[in-house]
Amino acid sequence: MATPRQMKLGAFLMTDGHHVAAWRHPDGRPDANVSLDHFVRLARLAEAAAFDALFLADSSGVRDTAVASLSHTSRAVGFEPLTLLSALSAVTERIGLVATASTSFNEPYNLARKFASLDLLSGGRAGWNLVTSSSEAEAQNFNAERHAAHADRYDRAREFAEVVSGLWNSWEDDAFVRDRDSGLFFDPGKLHVLHHHGRHFRVRGPLNVARSAQGHPVIVQAGSSEAGRELAAATAEAIFTAQATLEEAQAFYADVKGRLARYGRDPDHLKIMPGVFPVVGRTEEEAQEKFAILQERIHPVVGLSLLGTTLGGADLSGHDVDGPLPDLPETNGPKSRQKLLIERARRDALTIRELYLAIAGARGHWQVVGTASQIADQLEERFRGGGADGFNVMAPHLPGGLEDFIAGVVPELRRRGLFRDAYEGRTLREHLGLPRPAHRAPRPQPRAAAE
């Protein structure tokens, strides 16, 4: 009997929670961003529930340079993901460990090496979420005035991923014979030197880290632009994406899965996991009350800033939050979302506060507020309806929001046969149902041809 298809679940750990006011939650940890023990607790919680992976976002700098609103959030500082996941690798046994890292602000050798090292430390549980980053503030920490244009970033990202993949194939799986008697440590015929000479990078290789139990780290992506989807179709093994509605999720799913054939890839070898921001109550009322605890704690300066950003960089400071949205000048921001929001404000006669509360929770991600059974229904609908292979669970506050999901929704999913009772495998690839990549000897590029 074939195993029925089951959901993949990631625990997307945003320090104190995904809600911008999570740090003010009465049960929260305002010191979460400097507390390893907080993350150890979360990791063990998710692992006990047999989640596929922990997932950490990243920013190579403090993105928001508007200090007035920034100072009323906990987002300015936190652990760096690779060091944090390395620490967690030593105190967990099975759960996957996925860190985000940018192709714009790293060198491929360093990145390939650190992820390969995490992969070995964890016994084959690492994943790399490839991003190109989009903020000016980060670029300014790396010798640039402005961030590179989107097309250039993706051109670099494509070559970056190619170099990283080549470096992860420096050694065949059985290269290390470790024969004490003869004194031979590795078989020289199973070492492959990359000799990459490309447009952005020249990298000799080989990598100074061996392959892991799962071959190499799982490659994850998050971009949903045209270039992002194409790069994902070519290289990604999982996608963490933001899709607010079922229709959007289905369209994205069909589009990306449809691109894989062109690369000779099996659509099942790319798992699409949209984010979901769940607020779980024993009753609908309790769920709404739980959500209100967070919503009430959004400081107006933060609400105005979030709304201004969503409206393409509008400056709303000084406006009465309980008055209507003022007329706004045209900006360079994403037009469609901006327009929809302004239309909604006019139609429903919303105050500024009502408007920022409407967007502040999941910020573009899918938000579900209800009972465990109601939430399981919605997850099942997307999962069975061609919208998702699983979900990246974005707990509104931590640890409480994750505890609620695990205590309520996970058992409900299990009753329906939609989620595993316990881990069957040991590596992240085994959890996700991805094939272990066979070693591919990198083809050295003749120097003359590449230059």
Query: Hey, is 204 helix, strand or coil?
Result: coil
Provide the mask over 8-37, with x wherever binding to its own copies is found by CB under 8 A and - wherever it is not. -------------x-xx-x---xx-xx-x-
Cβ atoms 435, 428 nearer than 8 A: no
* 3-class secondary structure, 62: coil
Query: 56: part of which helix (H) or strand (E)?
Result: strand 53-56
The answer to whether residue 317 forms part of the interface with its own copies (CB under 8 A) is no
In angstroms, what is the minimal distance from the CB of 282 to its own copies? 26
Beta bridge partner(s), residue 102: 131
Q: What is the largest CA-CA distance in the chain?
A: 82
DSSP 302-319: HHHHHHHHHTTS---TTS
- Name which position in 7, 18, 54, 60 contacts its own copies (CB under 8 A): 60
The answer to whether residue 263 forms part of the interface with its own copies (CB under 8 A) is no
CB closer to its own copies, 198 vs 333: 198
Q: Does 448 bind its own copies (CB under 8 A)?
A: no
Can you read off the two tokens belonging to residue 436? 């272990």
Comparison of 40 and 246: residue with beta carbon closer to its own copies: 40
Nearest to 138 by CA among 99, 86, 100: 100
Among 5, 27, 48, 80, interactor with its own copies by CB under 8 A: 80
* CA–CA distance, 353 with 128 (Å, rounded to integer): 38
366 binds its own copies (CB under 8 A): no
Sequence-distant (≥ 6) Cβ neighbours of residue 404 within 8 angstroms: 278, 279, 280, 281, 290, 395
In the complex, least distance from residue 171 CB atom to its own copies, rounded to whole angstroms: 7
Q: Would you say 267 and 257 are in contact if contact means Cβ atoms under 8 Å apart? A: yes
Near its own copies by CB under 8 A: residue from 15, 73, 100, 371: 73
Q: How many CB atoms lie within 10 A of CB 373?
A: 12
Measured from the CB atom, the residue of 66 and 342 that comes closer to its own copies is: 66
Distance CA 172, CA 226 (A): 34
Instruction: Give the list of residues 6+ apart from residue 106 with CB closer than 8 angstroms, or none.
Output: none
Contact 212, 123 (CB under 8 A): yes
Determine if 225 is a binding residue for its own copies (CB under 8 A). Answer: no
Nearest 5°: phi and psi at 108?
Answer: -60, -35
> What CA–CA distance (Å, rounded) separates 365 from 343?
20
* CA distances in angstroms from 27 to 30, 246, 294, 371, listed in the order given: 9, 32, 11, 20
Using the minimum distance from each CB to its own copies, give the nearer residue, 37 or 348: 37
Query: Which residues from 388-447 bind its own copies, rule CB under 8 A?
Result: none
Given the complex with its own copies, which of 65 and 225 has the nearer CB atom? 65
Task: Write out the binding residues for its own copies, residues 189-218 only, by CB under 8 A.
Answer: 191, 201-210
Tell which positions 109-128 bind its own copies, by CB under 8 A: 109-110, 113-114, 116-118, 120-121
Q: Is 36 helix (H, G, I), strand (E, B) or coil?
A: helix
**Which of 176/423 has CB closer to its own copies?**
176
Map tokens 């327009």 to a residue. Answer: 339
Min CB(197)–its own copies separation in Å: 10
* Minimum gap (Å) between residue 275 Cβ and its own copies: 22
Binding mask 288-307 for its own copies (x = CB under 8 A): ---------x-x--x-----
Among 1, 4, 146, 188, binds its own copies (CB under 8 A): 188
List the one residue from 44, 62, 319, 416 that touches its own copies (CB under 8 A).
62
Residue closer to its own copies by CB (options 110, 225) is 110
Return the range that interacts with its own copies (CB under 8 A); candidates 87-95, 148-156, 309-317, 326-334: 87-95
Nearer to its own copies, 30 or 364 (CB): 30
Nearer to its own copies, 146 or 347 (CB): 146
Min CB(152)–its own copies separation in Å = 17
Strand partners, 197: 202
Our finding on whether 88 is near its own copies (CB under 8 A) is yes
Helix axes 335-347, 300-310, angle to 10 degrees: 120
Of 180 and 347, nearer to its own copies (C-beta) is 180
Site map 131..150 versus its own copies, x via CB under 8 A: ------x--xxxxxx-----
Q: Please report whether residue 180 would count as binding its own copies according to CB under 8 A.
A: yes
In 50-145, alpha helices (H):
67-70, 81-89, 108-121, 136-139
Stretch in the footprint of its own copies (CB under 8 A) among 54-62, 337-345, 402-410, 420-428: 54-62
